[in-house]
């Protein structure tokens, strides 16, 4: 399993995809947080806070994580190497988890350079260090769980097809719906008391709670459940090839 994780990580950086994901994520956040004037600009806001980073990042993830995950199984199917991989002394779940962990590793690499933003805000505070460090790192955990949920959805989408573009579009649609779709459905106020339940089914509601720096066990359980659901669905798709 470790060998497969290493293979996936090497394949990310053996092409432009791995570098592009990290570069685009940092570039988009950097220009909105530091260069473009407006509501997201930290210097214009006048507060020592990284809150806007955690507002922008989910929308960037909606595009970048499907781009990261689209090749995980689709490429194996197109190249005809998935059958060979399934003959290895690994269970289907271990193969799926290896690809998932490799994707998480790349996601972590994309997030790590943003700690420079935290250091900058820390030094710019008046006095220096006048920043909610606990809330900021709690928000980072929320962002990591959000990225993990999107990655599990992308992994599932990639397992359904051998076309990377189709996998990308399907993953982007599913991520958007699970992130924001339930909020819109609940906003129509069509189901009475059930609207609150529908709202709670969406990722955004739980992410917003965690992005305040509050780590509620119910939010953590929700994200773990979403990740487990889509990893389980991916396993069913992979096993269906043996039927």
Distance of alpha carbon 36 from alpha carbon 56, whole angstroms: 13
Q: What is the pLDDT of residue 14?
A: 79
Instruction: For residue 28, count other CB atoms closer than 10 A to its CB.
Output: 16
Phi, psi of 86 (to 5 degrees): -70, -15
CA angle centred on 140, ends 136 and 142, rounded to 5°: 115
DSSP E strands, 43-120: none
| pTM for the whole structure | 0.91
Stated as kind and residue range, the H or E segment containing 10 is helix 2-13
Q: What is the pLDDT of residue 231?
A: 95
Residue with tokens 């922008």: 56
Q: Report the chain (243 residues): mean pLDDT per 10 consecutive residues.
A: 83 80 88 82 76 88 90 84 78 90 90 88 76 81 92 94 92 91 76 75 84 80 94 91 64
Instruction: For residue 97, count other CB atoms closer than 10 A to its CB.
Output: 19
The token pair that represents 19 in the structure block: 């570098």
CA nearest neighbour of 95 among 76, 70, 68, 79: 76
Q: What is the pLDDT of residue 16?
A: 81
């Amino acid at each position: 399993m470790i060998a497969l994780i290493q293979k996936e990580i090497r394949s990310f950086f053996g092409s432009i995809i791995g570098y592009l994901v990290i570069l685009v994520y940092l570039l988009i956040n950097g220009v909105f947080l530091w260069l473009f004037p407006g509501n997201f600009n930290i210097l214009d806001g006048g507060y020592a806070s990284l809150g806007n980073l955690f507002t922008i990042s989910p929308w960037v993830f909606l595009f970048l994580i499907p781009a990261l995950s689209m090749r995980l199984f689709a490429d194996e199917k197109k190249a005809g190497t998935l059958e060979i991989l399934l003959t290895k002394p690994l269970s289907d779940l271990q193969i799926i988890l290896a690809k998932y962990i490799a994707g998480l590793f790349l996601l972590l690499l994309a997030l790590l350079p943003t700690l420079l933003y935290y250091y900058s805000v820390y030094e710019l505070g008046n006095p220096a260090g006048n920043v909610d460090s606990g809330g900021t790192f709690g928000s980072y955990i929320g962002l990591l769980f959000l990225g993990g949920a999107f990655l599990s959805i992308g992994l599932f989408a990639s397992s359904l097809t051998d076309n990377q573009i189709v996998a990308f579009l399907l993953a982007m649609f599913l991520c958007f719906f699970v992130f924001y779709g339930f909020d819109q459905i609940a906003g129509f106020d069509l189901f009475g008391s059930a609207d609150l339940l529908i709202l709670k089914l969406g990722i955004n509601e739980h992410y917003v709670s965690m992005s305040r720096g509050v780590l509620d066990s119910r939010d953590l359980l929700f994200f773990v459940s979403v990740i487990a659901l889509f990893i389980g669905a991916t396993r069913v798709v992979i096993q269906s090839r043996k039927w």
